[in-house]
Chains A and B, each alone.
Chain A
Amino acid sequence: MINKNNPVLEIKDLKTYFRTTLGEIKAVDGVSFTVSSGKTLGIIGESGCGKTVTSLSIMQLIKSPPGRIAGGEILLNGKNLIGLPERELQKIRGNTLGMIFQEPMTSLNPVFTIGDQIMETLITHRKMNRSEAKAIVLELLSKVGIPSPQIRINEYPHQMSGGMKQRVMIGMAIACNPKVLIADEPTTALDVTMQAQIINLLYTLQNEMGMSIVLITHDLGVIAETAHDVAVMYASKIVEYASVEDLFQKPLHPYTQGLFESLPALGNRDMKLRAIHGQVPNPLCYPSGCKFWPRCPHAEKKCREKEPRLEKISGRLIYCWKVAEEKSALYGPLFCEKSNKKDKEMNSDSSFHKELLQVKNLSKFFPVKGGFFSRAVGFVKAVDGISFTIKTGQTLGLVGESGCGKTTVGRTILRLMEPTQGEVFFEGLPIFSLKPKLLRKMRQRMQIVFQDPYSSLNPRMRVGEIVGEALSNHGLARGREVRELVENLFTKVGLSPSYFDRYPHEFSGGQRQRIGIARALALNPQFIVCDEVVSALDVSIQAQILNLLEKLQNENNLSYLFIAHNLAIIEYISHAIAVMYLGQIVEQLPAKNLVKNALHPYTKALLSSNPVHNPSQRGRSAPLAGDVPSAINLPSGCRFHPRCPIASKICSQEAPNLKKVEDNHWVRCCLVQ
């Protein structure tokens, strides 16, 4: 049942519209929900569904023009915030309503110390003097888990890590004991280990202070760990509104079901992901009738014609007349099926696959310049002695927290950066000693797909030209042929061939990623570095791209180096997994053994930091404390020992080597026998 007792914040039929040159965008269209005292409401949905606009509307921070609140009520303790004069609102913001933003890097002012920034809210709202405020700030900082607050209070934002800054943001938001805390994607920009810490912090703070939280996220795991009630948003509307237990037990709306099924879960790699077809519609041209019907597997004629209302079924609200009529979830085309490809692969003898790429003792150091005449005063050891092999038609997953050197590995292998040391053999050819002419020829066989679908396509070129450029440049095709080949590639990656003459900005993130994949495939390579290809995408699109990559691998016998920070995705797509920490591989093992057989404490910590999709298991303590240390001053001995939960004396003295524990399984740890 949805919590409706002691409502602190009630949103009734909220409508926020934006005026643009192409027409009015209904970013939030009739959204209602209730946040009870001391409870958390989670709002989940893909990007462009109106989650952030909802939160900004509650704070009355919508810029006008072009935006305006076109209707509805926002009741905070029974008082309507809409239409209040700016002075009144200023008293509420930061006082009874606190807010945390997604990007901790930009939401703190770089020219003030963090102490001053937190004090500012206290001085404004609580009319304190500086010394009173300072005492409270010190208390707050230790409350949000910042070590040695006496020193940290005088530091500037750039001196802190992302996780620390997010803690400071939380401290700032709770400084005045707000009744309601609005958290807009508070963990999205953070690593899993840091995410686990922040989730844990929010959980403890809520229990201590009894505040209500509105938590906006796209991650079902975060919802499962924090929320009491969940509102699922799609295309500016709430499509399902239920308590978290109900929702995770059985999602009813086809969109919610789709979200669940497009998410890889740890230890479940044999399942095939059921991606929701298509993408979130452009708010300028919403479909008629039900907003979800173009992507819904159960859509009927009636869905196109009549817009459903939110209807109450067994304690929850559903925006689907079909579910409402049948009073249960719809079954049919949406269910998990076993992918047969991986089974085949697992049964086959691994020696059947030829070794395609060998990396031997690869290192890449970046000089740190300083002093007179910018001499190198030190080195960032981004990659420090890494070796692995990738076989034909297989995927090696490279996983680790940000800053551990994953991306550098990918780029150095392709010689997009010059290595400091080591060798890479591609089909026996030493990549690092190739002459420029031969290297350009080799580039046809090894390609890369990037993380950011926005910066990876040249905004001034037509997408057809982007994909076809290399073909004509390497003399593989000319004129009419190029266009035909490109149109074939478009079909192959699931784009309409008619998009040839469009520009990148006209496409959504997922479509752009498909264009990036088409570009990589154009030269018919054998090996592709996939550098965080899905981490910038929404879950439903993420599943589409993962399925596409698998399909292409089967069809063309491609090998991937798949770089990601999400362990569940890595486990799903890879055949073998290498876990990196501070420039070194700490464990390498077959993907199917990851959950059962992982030995290194870091791998284990990553596994348990991954949010569990089970609301009854919440409130666990975060498995790893602290941050990744700087790669300039590496810890002595084992690089992981300062954070390692099982570290002993020997760990700080002796640097462990990669040990073979069984076939295809290596671990770098002194304590593992």
Chain B
Amino acid sequence: MSEDIEKTVYRHDDSDLPPHISNVKRFWLQLCQNPLAFWGLILLGLFFLTAISGTILTHGDNPIMDPEQVRLVDTLKSPLSKANIELLTPKERPLFDIYFLGTDKLGRDVLSRALQGAHVSLLVGFISVGISVLLGIILGALAGYYGNYVDSIIMRAVDIMLCFPSFFLILTIIALLPASIWNIMIVIGLTSWPGIARFVRAEFLSLRKQDFVTAAEALGLSKFRIMFVHMVPNAIAPVLVSATIGVASAILTESGLSFLGFGVPPPDASWGNILADGKEFIFDAPWLFIVSGTAILVTVLAFNLFGEGLRDALNPKLREL
């Protein structure tokens, strides 16, 4: 009898912990509770799919859909109109002989241009934000961990960066550099790190006082390890949120630059320059600005919604468990 009890007692001990939920699952549950964030995520998924399939369809020497193909016989065709098969060479004919989203003033297929633009936007968004996040984390971590002079120097640099209206700073730099999509990404990346550095520094200042950091110090771990293995993963949540929203703003910046003619050099398409092309024919060919405008709007909205949802899901204060 008593043996039986002992066994049960022991077994109960082992299951003392609440059921194991992996961090990923917890995160997912939290995200799903916010319908806007959930739909943001779905839209983002669609955006990724479009961008990736767009890359496959529009890249290479002989692409399935050629965004650069000029067809002077089929200029400013409205969406879903049939291609002028008799006058086009086989190479010039669009996929299925239909312009799903119409053509522009040079007879280029808007669908394939929008697809190529999605790829550009994705690239710009992620690479420029990647650069700014990397810089922001390193500089913010150094400032927050060491304090004193290191902190003063880095934070004054941040203040200086924030003094400039960043869009005009970018415009100036772009005007001086050769036009290329890579230069745009680097310049956007190099001008948008101060916000992230501030976030990381603030997190580090509060983490610095936490006992687990003192414990790591007491264990004789190196400063580098304490900073980047122990503290950065704990400071990453607000960075992720602002990075997500940062992607949206990078996409907007790129569109703005392209619209002004400083962005992606022609003949490559980006949503910004499709929009710029469309402004001359705003009444004659409204699909030009509707397609690119909607694409920008939906993508930016999706990133922002997802960022909001991420903020809730990553905030331990809002956690139930």
Contacts and interface: CB of A to CB of B under 8 A. Distances in A.
A301 interface: yes
Interface in A432-483: 439-444, 446-448, 450-452, 455-461, 469-470, 473-474
Contacts of A200: none
Contacts of A446: 218
Interface string A407-438: 00001001010000000000000000000000
Given A443-B220, A473-B225, A301 B234 contact: no
A22 B220 contact: no
Interface string A485-513: 00000000000101100110111000000
B211 A456 contact: yes
B61 interface: no
Interface in B124-147: none
A673 interface: no
A503 B23 contact: yes
5 contacts: A20-B320, A447-B219, A457-B212, A469-B221, A473-B221
Contact of A455 (B12, B18, B212): B212
B146 to A, nearest CB: 15
A287 B12 contact: yes
A284 interface: yes
Interface of A: 20-22, 66, 277-279, 281-282, 284-285, 287, 294, 299-301, 304, 411, 414, 416, 439-444, 446-448, 450-452, 455-461, 469-470, 473-474, 496, 498-499, 502-503, 505-507, 516, 519, 522-523
**Most A CB atoms within 10 A — which of B8, B218, B222?**
B218
Given A20-B321, A460-B233, A443 B219 contact: yes
A304 B212 contact: no
A458 B321 contact: no
B218 A447 contact: yes
Nearest to A453: B211
Contacts of B15: 285
B234 A22 contact: no
User: Interface size for chain B: under 10, 10 to 19, 20 to 34, or 35 or more residues?
Assistant: 35 or more
A300 B220 contact: no
Interface string B72-109: 00000000000000000000000000000000000000
A22 B225 contact: no
Contact of A448 (B8, B17, B215, B234): B215
Interface string B1-35: 10011001100111111111001000001000100
B225 to A, nearest CB: 7
Given A460-B233, A506-B20, A304 B211 contact: no
B316 to A, nearest CB: 8
A294 B9 contact: yes
Nearest to A21: B29
B12 A444 contact: no
B217 interface: yes
Given A20-B320, A301-B4, A506 B17 contact: yes
B217 A284 contact: no
Contacts of A503: 23
B234 A502 contact: no
Interface in B186-231: 210-212, 214-222, 225, 230
Contacts of B316: 459
A144 to B, nearest CB: 33
Nearest to B30: A21
B3 to A, nearest CB: 12
A527 to B, nearest CB: 12
A458 B212 contact: yes
Given A455-B211, A496-B14, 11 more contacts: A282-B17, A284-B18, A294-B9, A300-B5, A416-B217, A443-B220, A458-B230, A459-B316, A469-B216, A503-B23, A507-B17
Nearest to B235: A460
Nearest to A282: B18
A281 B13 CA distance: 10
Contacts of A285: 15, 18-19
Nearest to A437: B220
A334 to B, nearest CB: 15
B55 to A, nearest CB: 34
A460 B320 contact: no
Given A284-B18, A458-B230, A496 B13 contact: yes
A394 to B, nearest CB: 21
A519 B230 contact: no
Contact of A21 (B8, B221, B320): B320
A21 B20 CA distance: 14
Contacts of A473: 219-222, 225
Given A452-B211, A455-B212, A474 B220 contact: yes
A454 B225 CA distance: 21
Given A22-B19, A278-B16, A456 B215 contact: yes
Given A287-B12, A469-B219, A22 B211 contact: no
Interface in B235-285: none
A448 B18 contact: no
Nearest to B320: A20
Contacts of B19: 22, 284-285
Contacts of B321: 20-22, 505
A299 B7 CA distance: 12
B32 to A, nearest CB: 9
Contacts of A287: 12
Pairs A-B, 10 closest by C-beta atoms: A443-B220, A456-B211, A440-B220, A470-B219, A450-B211, A460-B233, A294-B12, A458-B212, A455-B210, A455-B211
Interface string B289-321: 000000000000000000000000000100011
B220 A448 contact: no
Nearest to A295: B9
B20 A502 contact: yes
A458 B228 CA distance: 13
Contacts of A411: 214
Nearest to A522: B219
